[in-house]
């Protein structure tokens, strides 16, 4: 019975993510928001410093902004879905300094024959104005409202001639067994609770990323600002 109740709770949360609805089981604490920012910094640095990641570093250097989701969980048993929370920040076009973070949820919901569990770290680069505009909205869908392409990692990246012409470039590193991670159709939604907790007031993505001050993400911003060095 406990297993059934747990699976039911998981699928309800995944369904909420996939439909673009916030799933809130408890109030976010300031320490949780700070920990997420710290985990995002570790994730970004792990991707950046990994061997054979020159293509990743090139995309990072040319990007307008980056969304880092340290833990994106995907589960399936007849029904399936994925969900995770991450941070997004941008480089100010005039100064080159970083603004952010703004907090977002990512999620999807699928129906069909599938079974398994997968946990992944995800880094998504916003490559153009359309990507930044999408991130400033309350919600959008990858691949539908904004174009997205998979980034190359490892040896295959060496053969990649150029960065694809897409608004978002997606990199992921899987931990677990499922059968492949795809973010096509994933809904990205502003997490207002995390934003309010982190900044102590109700702020929109534009308040944080356009009108906000630089340096709020500490070491996370530093890694992004030094991408081209």
pLDDT tens-place string over residues 150-167: 776 654 444 455 666 788
Instruction: Please report which confidence band the pLDDT of residue 211 belongs to, taking 50, 70 and 90 as the band edges.
Output: confident
Highest mean pLDDT among 7-21, 115-129, 136-150, 184-198: 184-198
Between 12 and 151, the higher pLDDT residue: 151
pTM of the model: 0.80
The answer on pLDDT for 117 being more than 60 is yes
- The tally of domains found in the chain comes to 1
Ramachandran bin of 176, using left for φ above 0, alpha for ψ from -120 to 50, beta for the remaining angles:
left
Structure tokens at 222: 């530093």
The answer on pLDDT for 209 being more than 80 is yes
The answer on pLDDT for 22 being more than 50 is no
What pLDDT does residue 164 have? 66
Question: In terms of residue numbers, what domain contains 99?
Answer: 2-19+26-225
Under DSSP, the state recorded for 145 is: T
Pairing of strands 148-150, 168-177: parallel
Mean pLDDT of 107-123: 69
Give CA 147 to chain center in angstroms.
Answer: 15
């Amino acid at each position: 019975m406990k297993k059934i109740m747990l699976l039911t709770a998981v699928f309800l949360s995944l369904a909420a993510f996939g439909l673009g609805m916030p799933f809130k089981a408890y109030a976010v604490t300031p320490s949780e928001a700070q920990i997420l920012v710290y985990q995002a910094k570790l994730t970004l640095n792990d991707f950046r410093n990994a061997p054979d990641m020159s293509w990743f570093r090139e995309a990072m250097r040319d990007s307008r902004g980056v969304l880092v989701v340290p833990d994106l969980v995907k589960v399936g048993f007849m029904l399936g879905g994925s969900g995770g929370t991450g941070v997004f920040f941008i480089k100010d076009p005039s100064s080159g300094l970083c603004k952010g973070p703004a907090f977002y949820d990512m999620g999807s919901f699928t129906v069909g024959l599938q079974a398994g569990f997968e946990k992944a770290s995800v880094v998504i680069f916003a490559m153009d104005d359309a990507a930044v505009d999408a991130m400033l909205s309350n919600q959008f869908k990858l691949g539908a409202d904004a174009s997205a392409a998979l980034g190359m990692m490892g040896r295959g990246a060496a053969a990649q001639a150029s960065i694809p012409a897409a608004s978002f470039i997606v990199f992921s590193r899987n931990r677990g067994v499922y059968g492949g991670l795809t973010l096509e159709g994933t809904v990205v939604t502003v997490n207002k609770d995390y934003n309010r907790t982190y900044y102590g007031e109700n702020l929109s993505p534009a308040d944080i990323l356009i009108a906000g001050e630089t340096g709020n993400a500490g070491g996370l911003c530093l890694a992004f600002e030094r991408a081209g060095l």
